[in-house]
Structure 1
């Protein structure tokens, strides 16, 4: 058995041991054990996580609550942390929605919300956070209750660590409401606008909280009136570039050695979630916006900084750029001025190539070239297109990119690229000068 397998086994056994001891402890001891259980959850990989959090475990918890062996408040301490880890690790589990515990939580949310007096707001918030992070489908009625409840928490303006932690969890939970779950604007728009605007003025949100606020809003697209708010009022492109800069300053993307700690891992996940969120936005927006040039430049900075030591981040950088290149609302000029083509050519020229990254770069180059060659290309005149063609061709010839591209024919990724897009051209440069 490998060292990793031994560690995983010991964590699983430790979690199960602590869980089995919960019903025989008083409340103070239960809290201590759940802190230990949460620590083991932090160390679990996806396979181990799924093996532990089964329908059987959730049903056992539901039965323990019913028999008053543990309180719902105690159970929430564990469930909320499990939901947080599930979202941050991007793990998809289906067992909670099939469990009796889910039905109990749904009933408790509805009952607590209906109370006119003596409503336990902290309990309601915890129930909503567990429900939305652990489940994947919700009733419209409960979704409305949870959204209103969590937006209220997220609107807190205190800047102490405890308040920031509560705001971060509320916004992270809201960001997990997928785009296919429809919500009326009046349920959320004024609140989320206020949260983002306050952060723009006071910088009170954590990196993850700020991302989550934007993610929740962008997940409501497509919506023309909402898009005007995002672009013109909240200035997404400018703010996203600033947040990426704030995030990267706290990360060492050029670090070559050393194990990634918990804080660095959280920042890395936040950075990748920002890129994925921008990918969704670029795929759906319809308004032209010159501020995208600055955002493209910063995505390229992240791409260049991460490709040596954080290849997964560098590959993810290409996806939003592909979506942007496919979006007719993005002028090709924005991509050229945003240093996108220069970065592509630099990567293709590398003597030792990362096949996956090179493949993604070729896909992006194809989409840019098609946009450049379109007859009605965003009102770019014939003379300007020729000048762009000559500039790119001369750069490729001067720096020896032509030779680099010929060698790509030996790559499996290049052959699969040609097959996928059914392109007969011999040289990748043909895509860039296809006018």
Structure 2
């Protein structure tokens, strides 16, 4: 393992040479896949770094450089399988964070931020006591308005670390005013990198599942749907989707990871959001656009896009004619008879049409709405008929039992439930 060999070399070279070795190592870390990454950053490796610091063979400043970079790469790729939380180094970081934060005078804010970043970027679970220190520390760094490359990178790092807080609850008074200001300032001045902006939203959206009072802020005050749609559209245009991931440039690879971050954030948003406004039309259209571009080389993104669309089809506030207007119906119809259809996309596609069919059966006492419902039913029926939808569903019917068992999610075994009857 080249990365591990470089770590071993650090033990036997002077501090001035360590920096050069660390720079080499960071370049190698950039190109590691999940398996390679996990083989290097083991409990043994973190314990080794702890020992080198303890024996003064490496300064804390030098130790933080590869650890921050490793955490950055890991969080960006959403691996979440690092072993630092069971290492001696993790315990040392916890102690140092508490001790540095307690200082009344001479507190090293940079060291505190670096320690918090390493801790949160490399740890899947964080205690509530540490969150009370780390979150305000990050928000203070992220609120710096300078637009130099160095400041932008540091802001990106702390916001990515914030977005890594997935499972832990964070008191609203600890973050809401600050994260709102960061997002609103960017909307006016465009001071954040794309990754930093996505990470700020990711942190906020992850809070929505446990705190429904955030609905109004996210939807109507900060305009998440509008912002996410714009970002996805711009990123989609910048990428050459014909290239597979391993063929992309470093810049394109990073932008693709940002798209994956937005899609992951959208999954949480559509599952947790209880409000809807007209900006959702553009958001659904942008998801359809990503889905169509990704379907040849990025099937994992396709599956996630279809999941988002089938949840949209289930939400009563999202009108079915919006799914027509955004071409969501067309996109799923195009996909369902493709030879490349995999189990995940098949499952979500069936769910999409199950939800659409169920929604279109719902009669209303409002005369105008009833006229619109019947017109929408007819339009979707004609699209399905033109694409040979019923024959396709019938040919795949035997897979419903298998998909139910694999995904532990309900799919109707009554084939007529998937049809639009006029």
Which TM-score applies when normalising by structure 1? 0.88
Mapped to 2, the partners of 1:260 and 1:150 lie a distance apart of 32
1:69 to 52, 57, 60: 57
Q: How far apart are residue 377 of structure 1 and its match?
A: 11
Distance 1:85 1:432, change over 3 A: same
2:155 alignment partner in structure 1: 167
> Which of 113, 118, 121 does residue 109 from structure 2 map onto?
121
The CA distance in 1 between the partners of 2:366 and 2:265, in whole Å, is 25
Q: Distance in 2 between matches of 1:52 and 1:192?
A: 35
Contact 2:152 2:192 in 1 (8 A): yes
Contact 2:85 2:123 survives alignment (8 Å)? yes
Partner of 2:222: 234
How far does residue 194 in structure 1 lie from its aligned partner after superposition?
0.9
1:111 matches 2:85: no
Instruction: List per-residue Cα deviations over 1:371-423 (Å, max 9, x = no partner).
Output: 222457999843332222222222333454444444445xx755635885242
Give 1:334 deviation, angstroms.
Answer: 3.2
1:156 aligned residue: 144
SS at structure 2 position matched to 1:25: coil
**CA shift for structure 1 position 323:** 2.4
Q: Tell me how far apart the structure 2 counterparts of residues 162 and 379 of structure 1 sit (CA, whole Å).
A: 60
* Cα displacement (A) at 1:55: 1.4
Could you tell me which residue of structure 2 aligns to residue 416 of structure 1? 402
Task: Give the match for residue 132 of structure 1.
Answer: 120
Quote the residue 2:205 is aligned against: 218
- Give the distance between the partners of 1:186 and 1:287, measured in 2 at CA: 22
Corresponding residue number in structure 2 for 1:203 = 190
Over 3 Å counting, the alpha-carbon distance change for 1:418 and 1:79 in structure 2 is closer
Question: Quick check: 1:275 aligned with 2:263?
Answer: yes
- Please state how far the C-alpha of 1:227 moved relative to its aligned partner: 1.4
Seen in structure 2, the aligned counterparts of structure 1 residues 68 and 381 have a Cα distance that, compared at 3 Å, is same
Deviation string for 1:4-60 (max 9, x for gaps)?
Answer: xxxxxxxx1x22222122122222211111111222222222222222222121111
> Given the superposition, is the C-alpha separation of residues 417 and 182 from structure 1 closer, same or farther in structure 2, using an over 3 Å criterion?
closer
Q: Number of aligned pairs?
A: 416
State the partner residue of 1:38.
Answer: 26
Q: 1:153 to 1:287 in 2, by over 3 A?
A: same
Q: Distance in 2 between matches of 1:95 and 1:216?
A: 23
Q: Does 193-202 or 111-120 show the bigger shift? A: 111-120
The aligned residue for residue 231 of structure 2 is: 243
Question: 5+ unaligned residues in a row in structure 2: which ranges?
Answer: none
SS in 1 for 2:318: coil
Which segment is superposed worse, 149-158 or 255-264? 255-264
Q: Could you tell me which residue of structure 2 aligns to residue 5 of structure 1?
A: none
Flag structure 1 segments of 5+ consecutive residues without an equivalent.
1-11
Report the alpha carbon displacement of residue 102 of structure 1 after superposing the two structures with TM.
0.8
The 1:27/1:226 distance shift into structure 2, 3 A limit, reads same
Q: CA deviation at 1:325?
A: 2.6
Residues 1:20 and 2:5 are matched in the alignment: no
Instruction: State which of 371, 378, 387 in structure 2 corresponds to 1:390.
Output: 378
Deviation at 1:311, TM superposition (A): 2.6
| Residue 92 of structure 1, aligned match among 70, 80, 94 | 80
How far did residue 349 of structure 1 move?
A: 4.6
- Output the CA distance in 1 between the equivalents of 2:334 and 2:38: 41
For residue 168 of structure 2, what is the aligned residue in structure 1?
181
Pairing partner for 1:355 from 342, 349, 354? 342
Q: Distance in 2 between matches of 1:40 and 1:123?
A: 25
> 1:390 and 1:185, CA in 2 relative to 1: closer, same or farther beyond 3 A?
same
CA RMSD of aligned residues (A): 2.5
CA–CA separation in structure 2 for the residues paired with 1:218 and 1:33: 38
Please tell me whether the aligned partners of residues 359 and 413 of structure 1 are also in contact (alpha carbons under 8 angstroms): no
Whole-angstrom distance in 1 between the partners of 2:206 and 2:245: 37
Q: Confirm or deny: 8 A CA contact 1:283 1:327 kept in the other structure.
A: no
Q: What's the CA shift string for 1:313-367, capped at 9, x where partnerless?
A: 22221121222233344333433332211222222354x3423334432221112
**Among candidates 396, 399, 415, match of residue 425 of structure 1:** 415
8 Å CA contact 2:400, 2:413 repeated in 1: no
Q: Decide which moves more: 135-144 or 252-261.
A: 252-261
Question: Measured at CA, do residues 239 and 71 of structure 1 come closer, stay the same or move farther in structure 2, by a change above 3 Å?
Answer: same
Q: How far apart in 2 are the matches of 1:99 and 1:256?
A: 36
Equivalent-residue separation in structure 2 for 1:105 and 1:378 (angstroms): 62
Q: Report if aligned partners of 2:46, 2:89 keep a CA contact under 8 Å in 1.
A: yes
Q: Aligned pair in 2 of structure 1 residues 285, 313: CA closer, same or farther (>3 Å)?
A: same
Contact in 1 for aligned 2:38/2:82 (Cα 8 Å): no
- Aligned-partner Cα distance in 2 for 1:244–1:255: 18
Q: Provide the C-alpha distance between the structure 2 equivalents of 1:141 and 1:192, rounded to a whole number of angstroms.
A: 20
